[in-house]
Structure 1
Amino acid sequence: MNAIRRAATLGTAIALGAVMLTAGPAFAEGTNPAPAPAPAASAVTLSEAASALSRGTTHAQNPSVPEGTAWTEHYFPSPVASSNGDAVTLHADVLRPEGLALDARTPVIMSVGPYFSHSGMNEDTHPEHTGPSARFTDLIVGAGLPAKGYTFVYVDLRGFGGSTGCIDWQGPGEQGDVVAAVEWAASQPWSTGAVGLYGKSYDASTGLVGIDRQPEGLEAVVAQEPSWSAYDYLVTNDVPRPQQILSPQSYLGIANLPGVDRAYQQDGYDIAPDTDTYLTAAAYEKTHPECAETVLAGTKATDRSGEFWSIRDFPANVNGSTVPLLFTQGLTEQNTKPESMQEFLTNHGGEQRGWLGPWDHVRGNEKDAEGRLQMGRAGWFDEVMDFYDRHLVQHSDSILSRFFVQDNFGHWRVQDAWGTTPKSVAIELRPGSYLDTGRGTVVDDEPDPTNPNPLVQTAALAAGDSPGAPGTRADGADAGGGIDDAPATNDQKLGVITESQALRTDVRLTGTPSIELRTEGTGNVAVQLWDVAPDRTAVTINQNVAKLSTDGATRFTLLGMDWTLLAGHTLAVSYDTIDWGYWSPTPSNAEVVVTRATLDVDVEPTATDVPTEGDRAPFLDEYIKRFTWDDPLPVTAPSFTLSASTGSIGTSAASVVAGGTVEIVGAGYDPGAPVGLSWVAGEVDGAVADAQGAFRASVTVPAGLEPGILTLTATAEDGSVSSLDLEVTAAVVPTPTATPAPAPTTTPAPAPGEPGAGSGGSLAATGAPFGAFGAGASVAVLASLLGAALVLLRRRAPRS
């Protein structure tokens, strides 16, 4: 390449306090070497150079700059002082569409995070030259941001990259940085004032901060695989995780990335090193050891309600914010798990779009080595740009919430909301006891240190550090590791198991289950849900742990989930001591007695699913393989029925005369399931639902019943209840009149119990399968009785 392509870093526009410098030396100030003189053919006038520099460095001048963009650097203050009292200055790398006029206004997509150092995202990669981070070049190029007229901005959180100050683990300082960054970008002369946040993992969580804090100019947030609460990534219900120590240490390492202090003058490029301003800021954590002391002391706390974690509780601090959100969440995530997700979505009042399914810690556009999309669904960037165009360009006020969900069979569906199913069931678990030894089955095996289990990620959100050793507490002490006489057989390892009857129909478990335990003794508990096939093959489908409350009443949520149990399968629930795999508990080595335990879980049928495009996520098979119990699950006597049906009953009769008969119809029950009928006067013969889940029965009202309202109750197999009220009127007593004597007859009267015999005033009811009337008649009767709603006073109550 004959011509020299000059890209002096300081020669990029450096704004200090939002003032842009439009000229500067070809290399950084200070002791950096002077550049070799450029060939005469490349000489330009000072005014031409100043104009070029103000427009920024292009891909032709620095290959780190994405094609179609021009790179400039800027500095501006954060309003929140560092934890050591110092003022904080933030650094930004701005990528504008190449060739765009300096005063041309564009919407801004921004990422605020820790991964944008010029020397590498997670470690010093010793790049040949400096340049903007490549973290989201996939979005910039893949979505065509320059051609679409968008500016992309990377902003370093305090302590990272070219920003000063102490990192504070998504605390008040970093939250203040998010606000400052958005409002700075919105106020620039090259901005339309509309800003969208974008990120994955840690810099997705800063998007949630933006939703919470609602800075001026923030119009939309895209968050891929965020940590929904800073607490949940390090601690689970007062039980530390190995990353409680490892992750903050890892991020302190990222904060110490040095920048690039060397020039690059090869292959026709003339690229200066990072400026002294940048390099000094990059060394801030090294020169301020109090930063590490402060953040490590704070993150050791395990009490969610404490001051340190309260301000970092993003779901609790949403407060109805209406900033639109597009997110992805792997429901089998092994890094940033679906913890506190539903709480955040419930407390959030704005538009929500989500991609949920059985994948790990990946991006929406990410592919595996075989070229398969890791989430299984194409069109991520189309979704992102439709979302940003709608809110940053069109400024739409209407809400378009939708969720694309992949189930555990790789099937995709689309729906308007997630986690809002109308049926919640309460499952009473078997009482029992276990030894809190630290040995359980949250993870089957200890990871091989030479080949760590990829599902056990105990380091930073995306830093890629190796898992910690099993049996090591967050404070570095031995976790106890179990005792010599700890239970060893599979059934003992699984703890106390409660299991359902075999399902009559497919049932989806969705939303976020919760559990409440009444216990005696101290220690910890691990709870698991299992999908058990007819051959007793069992897969863990949800799990979580907690430190037991000292008052004996412990309540906590499990992970957000979306898992379908097939007809013929069962749901099993187990509780036991905590395994070492994902957590670093301190076992009590004492017996824990569970006197009562109740699991609340949301269920829904699958018959009304609306299919949409998408393939099976490759990680699904890996998850099932790794989370399938090695041996057949021990047989447990079933103790409850699980059903997603929402059966109801009705009648066409507005009233019934005492002693008369009324026809009852039911619909929405599990096919073949018995339905019990009763009223205050006693039980009536029940019915059995037909293949469509419907039934029809004739019920006789007692003749001596006083006029008033009579409530008829239908109880489904799982204990759920539907009721209707009937008005009972007095029987009309005819006025006696003279009648001629009957003519003699030779026909005998029917004997009691034979056809035509009277009831004698007892509860006479006949229950018949609805199918006995024919499928067509079933539909017709339901349409006329239930659809027309002549009388349909239903009161449903969940099974207790």
Structure 2
Amino acid sequence: MGRGGGGETRNSNPHPSNKEQAKLKYREHFDRQVTREDVWIPTRDGRTHLHARIWRPTDAETAPVPALLEYLPYRKTDWTAPRDAQRHPWYAGHGYASVRVDIRGHGDSEGTPGDEYDAQELADGVDVVNWLARQPWCTGKVGMFGISWGGFNSLQIAALAPEPLKAIVTVCSTDDRYDNDVHYMGGAVLGVDMLAWAGTMLAFASRPPDPTSVGGDRWLPMWRERLEALDPFLHTWLAHQQRDDYWRHGSVCEDYTAIDAAVLAVGGWNDPYRDAVLRLVEHLPDDRVRGLIGPWSHQYPDRGLPPGPAIGFLQETLRWWDQHLKDEDTGIMREPKLRAWLTDSVPPATSYHVLPGRWVRETDWPSPAVSWDERPLGNGGAPVLVRSPQHTGLDAGRFFPFGNASDLPPDQREEDGRSVCFDSEPLDERVEILGRPRVRLRLDSATPRAHVIARICDVAPDGSSTLVTRGVLNLLSRHGRDRAVEWTPGTYETVEFDLNGVGYAFPPGHRVRVAVSDTYWPWVWPHGERGELTVLPAESAVLLPVRDPASDEGRAPIRFEEPEQAPPLPVEQERAADPAPPERPERLVTHDVAAGEWTLEVDPHYGGSRVYPDGLRYEESARETYRIRADDPLSARAVSEWTIRVRRGADWDAEIITRTELRATATEFIMDSRMEARADGETVVERAWHRTTPRTSA
């Protein structure tokens, strides 16, 4: 599903690097003059029209241009408007019609909201692509781009192969909706975003259309229609706890050959979707794919949000568009198949202005320069018992780092103390890894249902522990994500699973630590029974994808232009009308010692409240709360609360308040959601949902 890449993310950064961030340039003048218009695009049902904003050269009617489409549910008139202003006019000034469309039932588009990436959304997207190709100002060639949701549906619509769609740029997205999204990981329920993103989307889908776009007499009936059609995503996501046809829909990894368009796949090592880049460059043909992975969080690489360095991403994508939509030889297809940032060792911190490191190139992937280095976790000795307290994982950091001050994992020493750790000897030489490490464990579980979590950390001589990568396996899914096979306690089996991809260099004198736990809250929702694992270290190993630095010899360094954008939208930040303290922490961990309860409170900090040039005031406040007792997996509780208000002068004032809660017994998940929508202070619609679903594999 994927986060949206944020509105205007507020950011403070207490950890600047000794390297300077690239300087952002604003392009005031372009080779072609730009005009902007809002239009309605018809869909095949003949009743529903999607609202679009188009930036294009003023002379495109006489000198047609290719079209570029970004297709999202995140509201072009407010939530993504600052980000849209950075790139769509820039593309238009360089000879493209750059188009931003609200998905059906969102923003100012007609219809009612559906599930993420449902058949209706993708069919509408195909209709938009074909409509753009038919316009007199378009050459008939279309590209798609987007980050997160827009990157997802770019890939998925490319797999439907509408004839005009020739190229896409997919950023921070995935090819696998089940095992590499916000719902499940390694077959385990992702408690942190299964709940939080479902709660966020309930609030987002509840927002009203804007009267200035749809008309003063239409917005309220349209809004009521949307609200009456709502059903929280959480109900559907938890009803499919294994990889079934629901998750196969939209997962392009099911058939990479369906994609005919050229694919530029972009990710960041601090984004949870980076593994998709590695899979896409491995499985798509050499003449139709290129991959780029930087140090970035869940953001476009030109925005300059931590961690950097930022790059001239718009210029790089322009090379892609000119190559595939204008048939110009820009040299982009002579670039290596994968360009990746290799991060140097860093002390642990929750934010880095710029991460130290260098760009490396791989002409093939998997790369002949990368080989497996298998390191046993022990040289014999007794079995090791793994029984972590339930709050292990509170120092995991944010699942979707956005460039905020508290996003990344802090020093892992407390987490390591709640885990079983296997340390290497101090390294004699620098060790560079690039790819997805693996962990192989010979173990027994005391309960039929259990998780195992592995983290690789960089341990400095002073004992500080920097998280390098991690992975999880629900032992029920060890024989395949499409089935649940319970463990037979008292029986040893060997399980092997991948950790998230990474490019990282361990320096001499540091140790490589493998930390193993059986809990990881709130990232992983615990099974209903307190268990423990017994691991045989001598029969277990970590497999590191070690890269030979000699492969860089004789190669020119990889360079990018400095970031460049169109002039920013003049948006004024302001404090929301929020009863909570205005300066509450982004992440706050508290411990009730007597009750043994740990609480994590999170402000997702998507952008806060702002005033737009047209007088629109957009206010948002959100809080996520995760509670658990150290000794009781059934004490897990997660709550997402949102308040959103949009208003313009005395003519329009709408407010949405939502709350979503998830808890579980030993046998079922329990979901409670509610939503209240107000216009001018009066309740328009109020709804509540209560659902339960069996715990089939989670």
TM-score w.r.t. structure 2 length?
0.62
CA distance in 2, matches of 1:556, 1:544: 8
Could you tell me how far 1:542 is from its partner in structure 2?
0.5
Distance 1:614 1:398, change over 3 A: closer
Matched, 1:408 2:351: no
Tell me by how many angstroms 1:388 deviates.
Answer: 0.6
Kept after mapping to 1: 8 A contact 2:88/2:99 = no
Query: Which structure is richer in relative contact order (CA contacts within 8 A, separation 6 or more)?
Result: 2
Aligned to 1:670: none
Query: Is the aligned partner of 1:542 residue 2:469?
Result: yes
**Gap change, CA 1:199 and 1:605, over 3 Å in 2:** same
Amino acid at match of 1:444: D
SS in 1 for 2:375: strand
What is residue 354 of structure 1 aligned with on the other side? 291
Q: Match for 2:308 among 350, 364, 375?
A: 375
How many residue pairs were aligned?
482
1:297 corresponds to which letter in structure 2? Answer: H
Query: What pairs up with 1:704-719 in 2 under 5 angstroms?
Result: none
Is the contact between residue 497 and residue 572 of structure 1 (CA under 8 Å) also seen in structure 2? yes
- CA pair 383-355 structure 1, distance change in 2 beyond 3 A: same
Q: Measure, in 2, the Cα distance between the counterparts of 1:97 and 1:177.
A: 22
Deviation at 1:230, TM superposition (A): 3.0
Q: Which runs of 5+ in 2 are unaligned?
A: 1-31, 345-355, 477-485, 488-492, 564-586, 588-698
* Match for residue 99 of structure 1 among 40, 55, 58: 58
In 2, Cα distance between equivalents of 1:524 and 1:276: 54
Separation (CA, whole Å) in 2 of partners of 1:533 and 1:615: 34
- In structure 2, relative to structure 1, the CA distance for the partners of 1:444 and 1:251 (3 Å cut) is closer
- 3-state SS in 2 of match to 1:589: coil
Q: Distance in 2 between matches of 1:284 and 1:553?
A: 53
One-letter identity of the residue aligned with 1:311: H
Q: Give the drift of 1:494.
A: 4.6
Q: Does 1:577 align with 2:538?
A: no
Q: Quick check: 1:245–1:300 contact (8 Å CA) kept in 2?
A: no
Counterpart position of 1:471? none
Q: Which amino acid aligns with 2:390?
A: G
Structure 1 counterpart of 2:73, from 94, 114, 119: 114
Q: Residue 213 in 1 paired to residue 165 in 2?
A: no
* 8 Å CA contact retained: 1:428, 1:597: yes
Query: How far, CA to CA, are the matches of 1:605 and 1:339 in structure 2?
Result: 21
Which deviations, in whole Å up to 9, do the C-alpha atoms of 1:257-307 show, x marking residues without a partner?
Answer: 212225xxxxxxxxx764766775555421324xx15x4322114534222
Q: What does residue 309 of structure 1 align with?
A: 247
CA contact (8 A) 1:109 1:150 kept: yes
Residues 98 and 212 of structure 1, relative CA distance in 2, 3 Å threshold = closer
Aligned equivalents of 1:456, 1:88: Cα separation in 2: 41
Which residue matches 2:28? Answer: none
Structure 1 277/517 Cα, relative in aligned 2: closer, same or farther at 3 Å?
A: farther
User: Do the aligned partners of 2:299 and 2:402 also contact (CA within 8 Å) in 1?
Assistant: no
Aligned pairs for 1:740-779 within 5 A: none
3-state DSSP class of the match of 1:230? coil
For the aligned residue pairs, the C-alpha RMSD in angstroms reads 3.6
Secondary structure of 2:527 counterpart:
coil
Instruction: Summarize the Cα distance change of 1:219–1:566 in structure 2 as closer, same or farther, 3 Å threshold.
Output: same
1:137 aligns with 2:85: yes
Paired with 1:567 and 1:462, the residues of 2 have a C-alpha distance of: 32
SS at 1:136's partner residue?
A: helix
The residue number in structure 2 matching 1:640 is none
- Percent identical pairs in the alignment equals 21
Q: Deviations over 1:741-787 (max 9, x none)?
A: xxxxxxxxxxxxxxxxxxxxxxxxxxxxxxxxxxxxxxxxxxxxxxx
**Greater alpha carbon shift after TM alignment, 522-531 vs 346-355:** 346-355
Q: Which amino acid aligns with 2:436?
A: T
How far apart in 2 are the matches of 1:88 and 1:433? 62
Shift of 1:570: 2.7
Structure 1 residues 207, 377: CA separation in 2 closer, same or farther (over 3 Å shift)? same
Equivalent residues in 2 for 1:383-462 (5 A)?
383-394=316-327, 399-402=333-336, 403-409=338-344, 410-417=356-363, 419-422=365-368, 423-430=371-378, 432-435=384-387, 437-440=389-392, 442-444=393-395, 455-457=397-399
1:607 partnered with 2:553: no
Q: What displacement does 1:434 show? A: 1.0
1:138 Cα deviation from its structure 2 partner:
0.6
Aligned: 1:331 with 2:269: yes
Deviations 1:395-427 (A, max 9, x none): 669943434432223232241447523312333
1:195 to 1:249, Cα distance in 2 relative to 1, 3 A: same
Structure 2 residue 216 is matched with structure 1 residue 237: no
Does structure 1 residue 285 correspond to structure 2 residue 212? no
- For residue 255 of structure 1, the aligned residue among 205, 224, 235 is 205
Q: Distance in 1 between matches of 2:165 and 2:84?
A: 19
CA displacement at 1:389 relative to structure 2: 0.6
Check conservation: 1:106, 1:149, Cα contact below 8 A. Answer: yes
What are the superposed Cα offsets for residues 484-518 of structure 1, whole Å, 9 maximum, x if unpaired? Answer: xxxx9969735333333433332211111233434
Instruction: Say yes or no: does 1:194 pair with 2:141.
Output: yes
SS of residue paired to 2:436: strand
Assess if the C-alpha contact under 8 Å between 2:41 and 2:131 holds in 1.
no
Q: Does 1:561 align with 2:502?
A: yes
Counterpart CA distance in 1 for 2:278 and 2:159 is 15
Tell me the SS of whatever aligns to 2:324. helix
Aligned mates of 1:491, 1:375 — CA distance in 2:
26
Preserved contact between residue 239 and residue 546 of structure 1 (Cα < 8 Å): yes
CA contact (8 A) 2:183 2:193 kept: yes
**In structure 2, what is the equivalent of residue 297 of structure 1?**
235
Q: For structure 1, which segment, 400-409 or 378-387, has the greater mean C-alpha deviation from structure 2 after superposition?
A: 400-409
SS in 2 for 1:530: strand
**How far apart in 2 are the matches of 1:316 and 1:299?**
19
Residues 594, 176 of structure 1: alpha-carbon distance in 2 compared, 3 angstrom cutoff: farther
Q: 2:92 & 2:221 partners in 1: Cα distance?
A: 32
Contact kept in structure 2, 1:315 and 1:340, CA below 8 Å: no
Which has more radius of gyration? 1
1:165/1:285 contact within 8 Å kept: yes
Comparing 201-210 with 421-430, greater Cα deviation is found at: 421-430
Q: Could you tell me which amino acid in structure 1 is paired with residue 395 of structure 2?
A: D
One-letter amino acid matched to 1:583: V
Q: 1:463 to 1:411 in 2, by over 3 A?
A: closer
CA deviations on 1:552-603 (whole Å, 9 max, x unpaired) are: 5544321111011123333221211223143332363122123443433311
2:254 is paired with a residue of what secondary structure?
coil
When residues 494 and 616 of structure 1 are mapped into structure 2, their CA distance, relative to the original with a 3 A threshold, is: farther
**Aligned residue identity for 2:161:** Q
CA distance in 1, matches of 2:197, 2:509: 43
| Distance apart, 1:343 and its partner CA | 2.6
Question: 2: distance between equivalents of 1:360 and 1:463?
Answer: 6
Kindly state the Cα deviation for residue 217 of structure 1 after the two structures are TM-superposed: 1.3
Residue 630 of structure 2 is matched in structure 1 by none
Query: Which amino acid counterpart does residue 68 of structure 2 have in structure 1?
Result: I
**Match for residue 705 of structure 1?**
none
Structure holding more strand per residue:
2
- Offset of 1:320 from its aligned partner? 6.3
Amino acid across the alignment from 1:93:
A
Task: Name the CA shift for 1:570/1:411 in 2 (closer, same or farther; >3 Å).
Answer: same
Counterpart contact for 1:330–1:338, Cα < 8 Å: yes
Aligned-residue offset at 1:103 = 6.1
Q: Output the amino acid matched with 1:429.
A: L
Q: Flag the 1:76–1:252 CA change in 2: closer, same or farther, 3 A.
A: farther
CA separation of 1:160 and 1:548: change in aligned 2, threshold 3 A: same
SS of aligned partner of 1:296: helix
8 Å CA contact 1:527, 1:543 repeated in 2: yes
